[in-house]
Amino acid sequence: MNPAYGLASLPLRWKVLGSLFIVAALFIGALLFVGAQYVGTVQPAGGALLEALARERSTTLQVIVNGITANLRSLVENPLLQDAYALLATGAAAVQDERRLVEDVFQNLLANNLTYRQVRFVSVGGRTLAATPAQPRVNESEQPYFGFLQRDLTFRGTFISPITQRGNDFELEFATIVRRSGRPIGYLVINVDPTGRNTPGQPSILTALRPLNVPAGVLGFYLIASDGRLDTLGEATAELSDEQRARARALATQTFTEPISYISPVTNRVVRGFGVPVRGMDRVLVAEVQVLLTGRADEAGRFLAELSLVGLLGLGVLALLALFLDWSVVRPLRSLSQAAQLAAQGRNVAQPPVKQRDEIGIVAAALPALSNLSQQDVAALEKRLARRAQEVELTRAIGQTLFNLRDTDRLMRRVVELVCESFPQIDNVHIFALDSASQTLILRIAMAQTGESPLPQGYRVGVSPRSVIGRAAQSEQITLQLFDESSPNELLSRTRAELALPLRTHAGLFGVLDLHSHRAETFDDEAISFFKAVADQIAVALTNAQLFEESQARLAEIEDLNRRMLGEAWRGYEVARRRAMPRRGFTAPEPDLEWSELQLRAYYSGELQERIEAETVTFAVPVSLRGQCFGAVEWTVPRATYNENMRLLARELAARLAVNADNARLLEQSQRLAERERLVNTITERLSRQTSVEQVLQVAIRELGQALRLPQTSIQLAAQIASESVEESEESYERNVE
């Protein structure tokens, strides 16, 4: 065999593991080499240099700041100057001598310190009171020192402003609070040149922040305030992002014992740095390696050159490895995938697409057999999907039927018809209902594929283990039984499989769904699950139908009761009204108007009645509420205007009249009851004030007569006394009521 094919035929695991091992070995070697070179050259020298330079420049900054702070403190604590400051702060006009004294002292300080640009005394309100060199008296409330000191007038230290750049120049201000008898009277400010341009031989603040080129790289320096503000001569940091400020604040609170690696808030790159707090400035001086030099003459350059050479060698090896994998793995797998796509499309794969003897070749050799199996599986799946679609459609039809029907018999008959139509292999479908009194199952619905069911309507089966239906009803479990010619079914001899499913409703067992088939394999597990779902749907529908029938019956009872109660209420109201009318003014009631023929017909029929004449139409509409009619309204209108809209309007008016009349009746009854209760309470209260029986009887006769509006009222007391005394007492307590 060709050695190349032999190598390509190696097991795929060997090829993959071997390739990964080679790549891992190369990269591990490169990393070890890089680490050794970095640790051996850059890190020790860079780390020691960072720490030494950071401490040295921190000391320089501290000396500069201490000198400026000492001069500022001497100006504040000078007794003569304090008196002059106090007079200047009063704002009096005759303070020229004091201003001249202060400015002379300021001038002397500037002459001895060439880095000082200006010294000025500012009032608490922000107005310049004395300045050397002189400047216009402007409001300094916008200056950084003013806002800081104004917020905390108890501050005893020195405020150092950020280093600001104005064109090509930089400036820095030192400020403190001037107090007189413990009360702030102004601010003393020294404006400093941080570049040290006038004293080139002496260190300055900006020279301490100037970057430094070393063989290990470029060392950058910057100051970080506690709030994350940066002072640097490097890249622009005026607009720091929230993330950069968070990094700066973290560095300001970091305690450095050795150089560490972090993401620089200035360059946003991973650097190594060291920080030293500068006492008196409330800042931290940070020194960090920003950029590695790439010159070939320095150590970092040689390190990068060696690393590049190793990278190129690794890329070459990886390229060779990629070619080998492409030839031995990728191309065969591509051919195999194309053949697999053909097999997935249902097309036959006759020959293996790959001749190799590794794992890819084994898979390719098995692909034709897998193609044949997949075609068989597709056919079986299509058949199964068709069956499932039929079941889903039947379930939908049954569900729709159950939703629309409320009659129990019609519901069961329609479900039986759907099962017979959808499953030709099912010969007979029965639904038996349970008779709890006799503990038997009565055939309610029966249907066969041939037409008439051989079982008569009302056929009974006992609830016992003797039959499949009886066992299903007794155990309330799905029961399946197979039959053959030697032991046929007791109901239908042609049956080879019988499935009985109990139908359980909210009231208990309703009955059994009985299915017969001439094929023993009809009721497999999927079919049983499907028919169980059908039985559950039928049970739910039967429950809903029973509940619907019960609710309809109860609703009819309630409506009949409401109708009778409303009729009795109106009849009682009419009787009470007739009785009450003679007492109102003691006059005879007006006779009731006679009902017209149309009104009587509308009253008794409950429907609109009409009589059409030549030019007019007379029609009557019943006044009814909740099925109880208690009046009729009659209209006579021109025939030209009589139409369906007028009839609808008349019915609506009659309906609203019925509601309003009933509301008025209820209101009148409630008022009458309230009036009766008030009269009873009034009479009771007046009776309770009396102290003798005779007074009680007299008050009772008078109040009852007035309340009932009766011309004469009497009270008779029965007691075990002589008849003469009874007659005498009866005569004594008769009173005429005017």
Q: Tens of pLDDT along 565-591?
A: 766 766 666 666 665 555 444 343 444
- Cα separation, 314 vs 392, whole angstroms: 62
Kindly tell me if the per-residue pLDDT of 174 is higher than 90.
Answer: yes
Q: Is the N-terminal amide bond of 133 cis, ω within 30° of 0?
A: yes
- Report long-range pairs for 455-459 (Cβ below 8 Å, ≥24 apart): 455/428, 455/430, 455/491
The angle formed by the CA atoms of residues 345, 350 and 355, to the nearest 5 degrees, is: 110
Res. 732 pLDDT band, cuts 50 70 90: very low
CATH of the domain spanning 405-551, picked from 3.40.640.10, 3.30.450.40, 1.10.8.60, 3.90.650.10: 3.30.450.40
Kindly tell me if the per-residue pLDDT of 189 is higher than 90.
Answer: yes
- Strands in 386-439 per DSSP E: 426-435
Res. 681 pLDDT band, cuts 50 70 90: confident
What's the Cα-to-Cα distance from 162 to each of 174, 251, 362, 551, 600, rounded to whole Å? 10, 18, 75, 86, 106
Kindly tell me if the per-residue pLDDT of 291 is higher than 60.
Answer: no
What's the Cα-to-Cα distance from 189 to each of 131, 158, 273, 278, 602, rounded to whole Å? 9, 10, 34, 21, 108
Q: Classify the C-alpha dihedral 110-113-115-120 as positive or negative.
A: negative
What's the Cα-to-Cα distance from 596 to each of 567, 609, 623, 653, 705, rounded to whole Å? 21, 11, 15, 19, 41
**Average pLDDT for the chain:** 78
Of 343 and 70, which is predicted with more confidence?
Answer: 70
Which residue's entry shows tokens 């930089």? 170
- Cα separation, 669 vs 576, whole angstroms: 10
Q: What number is the average pLDDT over the span 50-66?
A: 90
SS3 label, residue 510:
strand
pLDDT in tens, 619-669: 998 988 777 787 888 889 898 888 889 889 988 988 888 888 878 878 877
- Cα separation, 113 vs 110, whole angstroms: 5
Same fold, 78-192 and 405-551: yes
Which CATH class name applies to 78-192? alpha beta
Residue 734 confidence (pLDDT): 46
Kindly tell me if the per-residue pLDDT of 719 is higher than 80.
Answer: no
Kindly tell me if the per-residue pLDDT of 26 is higher than 80.
Answer: no
- Cα separation, 545 vs 550, whole angstroms: 9
Residue 276 in contact with residue 282, Cβ under 8 Å?
A: no
In terms of Cα–Cα distance, which of 445, 394, 456 is closest to 421?
394
- Cα separation, 197 vs 206, whole angstroms: 10
Q: Where are the domains of the chain?
A: 78-192, 405-551, 598-669, 690-736
- Cα separation, 446 vs 715, whole angstroms: 80
Kindly tell me if the per-residue pLDDT of 443 is higher than 90.
Answer: no
What's the Cα-to-Cα distance from 133 to each of 82, 99, 190, 446, rounded to whole Å? 20, 13, 11, 120
Which of 120-134, 301-315, 668-682 shows the lowest mean pLDDT across its residues?
A: 301-315
Q: Helices marked H in 290-329 — which ranges?
A: 299-325
Residue 290 confidence (pLDDT): 63
pLDDT in tens, 522-545: 888 888 888 888 888 888 877 777
**Angle between helices 644-688 and 693-708 in degrees, nearest 10:** 160
- Cα separation, 531 vs 479, whole angstroms: 12
Q: Classify the C-alpha dihedral 111-115-121-127 as positive or negative.
A: positive
This prediction has a pTM of 0.41
Residue 196 confidence (pLDDT): 84
